Amino acid sequence: MFGAGKLNELHNQQLPGKKALLVISNGKSTRVNGYLDRTVKELEKAGVASVVFDKVQANPLKATAEEGAMFARENNCDFAVALGGGSVIDCTKAICLNATNPGDLWNYVFIGTGKRMVAKNNPLPFIAITTTAGTGSEVDCAGVISNPETNEKVGVGDPRLFATIAIVDPELMTSVPPMFTAYQGFDALFHSTEGCVCNKSNRNEEGVGNAIIKSGVPRAELFIVTKVWISNAGEEKVYASILESLEKLQTNYIDLLLIHQPFGDYYGTYRAMERAYREGKVRAIGVSNFYPDRFIDLQANVEVKPAVNQVETHVFNQQIVAQEYMEKYGCQIMSWGLFAEGRNDFFKNETLAEIGSGHGKSVAQVALRYLLQRGVVLIPKSTHKERMEQNLDIFDFSLNEEDMKAIEKLDTGKSLFFSHYDSQTVEFLTSLGK
């Protein structure tokens, strides 16, 4: 639900339960600005009782999510309402997952020290009401949670964690500076667009299409990239979902469409993408997370070669060999995880800091410049204006051969997140398509 006053329509919606866990931050703004009272009244109008959990920090902790899950169970809550910014919405997702799947939250984390267990029970459904200018978290199915015990800050997600209802109401964002509203609003737009084809049950497509129209930005100036998730794999399902997404997005083409994971019926998926490409409904097609073995096999057996392969690429996992094979077969490497989500003390790395001091640049700028000079497509993500400006300010310097070789030595050749050769990871990913 997108638009001014949409919170006032909450009581008219089909809510997913009769008792809500209302999750807010441990700050004052949600109460002071009246957002909490308004939400409680909307729930009451719908005949829904609620209890408030107000302990979410700016960077939500594992212990907080687990405490919230226990609080939800003790109060017999059958759904949750996240009222706040990205941290609140992220924590709510973890709460909803843990509330119906008790025990250590890290059992259901698939990277780092996580136990990689598939959650057997459906998470609690939840409603996301953002009070900042488009966190992006209201329209995806994962949240970032910190675990001080293991010194990790990782994504906790499940394809069943899309919000049942997401409300983006500008009336709840009047305290946010306009410049951040614009920057963060587009972040939400791109998150939501990515969700459109990935999850056919996602209800955000029409809202995204309306947002594109209302933005006033010419379609030719937007570059929409989206992915097909495993649960939607297969030739007929994917083609039908592409047509449906185009209609709801109110556009007649997608700029780049990728297969998200190299599992499931990805050959059938790719055939549907080839058809859409030939019909002009998609401008370019490619893959994501395809290691060299599966990438080589796919490109050898399709008519339209993958234009892009998006893979985890950063200074600690540089994808040197993978890039060589992509270039051999005319495919462009695109990075995700450019800053390794801060792992390995990324932003304190001595090598990058020393090189940066010689150029008057930050660690992040040096890392971006390194990948840029190697021909890697960069899409750094940030919701902060100053960091966006810094990420763009990498075209007025170059790294010399000595700099490049020093950074090359940082490569471990391994993922900092997960391996597609890991049996438990593959079991989890393939289970999502069933």
Q: Are 146 and 62 in contact (CB under 8 A)?
A: yes
Q: 3-state SS string over the chain?
A: CECCCHHHHHHHCCCCCCEEEEEEECCCHHHHCCHHHHHHHHHHHCCCEEEEEEEECCCCEHHHHHHHHHHHHHCCCCEEEEEECHHHHHHHHHHHHHHHCCCCHHHHCCCCCCCCCCCCCCCCCEEEEECCCCCCHHHCCEEEEEECCCCEEEEEECCCCCCCEEEECHHHCCCCCHHHHHHHHHHHHHHHHHHHHHCCCCCCHHHHHHHHHHHCCCHHHCCCEEEECHHHCCHHHHHHHHHHHHHHHCCCCECEEEECCCCCCHHHHHHHHHHHHHCCCECCEEEECCCHHHHHHHHHCCCCCCCEEEEECECCECCHHHHHHHHHCCCEEEEECCCHHHHHHHHHCHHHHHHHHHHCCCHHHHHHHHHHHCCCECCCCCCCHHHHHHHHCCCCCCCCHHHHHHHHCCCCCCCCCCCCCCHHHHHHHHHCCC
**What's the token pair of residue 266?**
């990805």
Asked whether the predicted pLDDT for residue 206 surpasses 80, the reply is no
Q: How many CB atoms lie within 10 A of CB 191?
A: 19
Reported as a pLDDT band with limits 50, 70 and 90, residue 189 is low
Q: Kindly give, in sequence order, each residue whose CB lies less than 8 Å from that of residue 107, ignoring residues fewer than 6 positions away.
A: 101, 114, 115, 117
pTM above threshold 0.85: no
Percentage of the chain exceeding pLDDT 70: 89
Q: How far apart are CA 7 and CA 81, in angstroms?
A: 12
Asked whether the predicted pLDDT for residue 422 surpasses 60, the reply is yes
- Give how far Cα 53 sits from Cα of 83, 125, 313, Å: 10, 16, 38
pLDDT the model gives residue 178: 57
pLDDT the model gives residue 72: 97
Q: Model confidence over 166-180: pLDDT tens digits?
A: 998 888 876 655 555
Q: How far apart are CA 62 and CA 156, in angstroms?
A: 10
Asked whether the predicted pLDDT for residue 402 surpasses 80, the reply is yes
Q: Of 213, 211, 208, 207, which is closest to residue 226 (Cα–Cα)?
A: 208
Asked whether the predicted pLDDT for residue 347 surpasses 50, the reply is yes
pLDDT the model gives residue 211: 73
Q: Model confidence over 215-251: pLDDT tens digits?
A: 778 888 888 888 888 878 899 999 998 898 888 888 8
Reported as a pLDDT band with limits 50, 70 and 90, residue 395 is very high
Q: How far apart are CA 158 and CA 142, in angstroms?
A: 6
pLDDT the model gives residue 272: 95
Q: Are 295 and 287 in contact (CB under 8 A)?
A: yes
pLDDT the model gives residue 296: 97
Asked whether the predicted pLDDT for residue 420 surpasses 90, the reply is no
Q: Of 116, 119, 80, 82, which is closest to residue 100 (Cα–Cα)?
A: 119
Q: How many CB atoms lie within 10 A of CB 168?
A: 25
pLDDT the model gives residue 153: 82
Asked whether the predicted pLDDT for residue 14 surpasses 50, the reply is yes
Q: Are 40 and 22 in contact (CB under 8 A)?
A: yes
